[in-house]
Amino acid sequence: MTTKQILYFDRSGSQNTEALIGAVKERVQELKIEHVVAASVSGQTGIQLWEALRGTGCTVISVTEHAGFHGKDEIPLAAEKREEMESKGIKTLIATHALSGVDRSFSKRFGGASPVEVIAHTLRRFGGDGIKVAVEVSIMAADAGLLPTNREIIAVGGTHAGADAAIVLKTAHMNNFFDLEIREIIAKSRQR
């Protein structure tokens, strides 16, 4: 049996990012984690993680929103920021959201909810947007070949800006979603 502390933040948001990154670094070192994936729309959270994890041998993958997510044909991650991140060795990924994608257009057009959206809402009930996003970016990065699916990784998510959730998991590809295993909660918000 193992006893570990979980950080519970009183509310979601970017004010939790620094404490969360400290807890992630601790688990990276304890578990000898080789990959951390984080949702980072602007790239800032990805850079903060990279700075904290320098020297650990851990690869940082930063996942941002796809073009058109907010209705425009634009990618929210600035090209200069992406170049800066990649020059540091941070892998960046721009991809369709694993837990919405095309299914969301059907729901918007015809109503109802798809199985993928039910999964997303279930994860939100359990751990807020941050946990849902952490699971989602791990799947997206695995599908892009940036994460292994045969060993534990850490995934970081947030609600709007910054990071407020982190989990240790064995991720999976979209087509093998039910092989995904959330093994530990490092941190989460108590409120959505």
Predicted confidence at residue 60, as pLDDT, reads 97
For residues 144 and 124, give the distance between their C-alpha atoms in angstroms, rounded to a whole number.
24
Predicted confidence at residue 151, as pLDDT, reads 96
Smallest CA-to-CA distance from 164 within 140, 190, 125, 184 is with: 190
Predicted confidence at residue 117, as pLDDT, reads 85
Smallest CA-to-CA distance from 2 within 27, 32, 23 is with: 27
Per domain, the residue ranges of the chain are 7-189
CATH architecture of 7-189: 3-Layer(aba) Sandwich (3.40)
Average pLDDT value for the chain: 90
**Number of helices and strands in the chain (H, E):** 5, 7
CA geometry: angle 172, 177, 178, nearest 5 deg: 110
Range with lowest mean pLDDT among 65-79, 86-100, 173-187: 65-79
pLDDT of 88 > 90? The answer is: yes
For residues 114 and 106, give the distance between their C-alpha atoms in angstroms, rounded to a whole number.
8
What would the pLDDT profile of 2-24 be if each residue is shown by its tens digit?
Answer: 888 999 999 888 899 999 999 99
